[in-house]
Amino acid sequence: MKKRLQKLAVATSSAVAAFPLLATGVSAEAIGAELGTGFFTDIGQLFNTVLRFVLIISALLVFVYLIWGGIEWVTSGGDKGKTESARNKITAAVIGLVIVAASYAIFTLIIKAVLGVDDINTLINP
């Protein structure tokens, strides 16, 4: 369980860090897609919703891992090995949170400063 959760945390943080790199300036009309009148009316809304969902899930996973490390620390009973394991969990959670926040900040910086648009909707649907 421990290894599986660590792999999930690494995969989530990697996916969140790489997710902004997937942004393209291609509109639905350019690729011939018909979006219709469903839940998302354009690709920009879909992209924003997926990005927001991934950020929320990754933040929740970081929070759970942080709480898990804290509980392990409190219940370690002074055992040096368990305390070290708990400290490593807390450190990994904080690093994961920094990675999630930095990836969002870099994505926002690229959109606003480099590309000169206010949000991803303006970039995808000019």
Size of the chain in residues: 126
- Which residues are within 8 A (CB) of 50 and not within 5 positions of it... i.e. 6 or more apart? 19
What is the tens place of the pLDDT at every residue in 4-36? 555 555 455 544 444 444 444 444 444 445 545
Q: How far is CA 46 from CA 38, 41, 49, 56, 86, in A?
A: 11, 8, 5, 15, 38
What is the tens place of the pLDDT at every residue in 64-96? 999 999 999 999 888 899 999 999 999 999 999
Structure pTM? 0.57
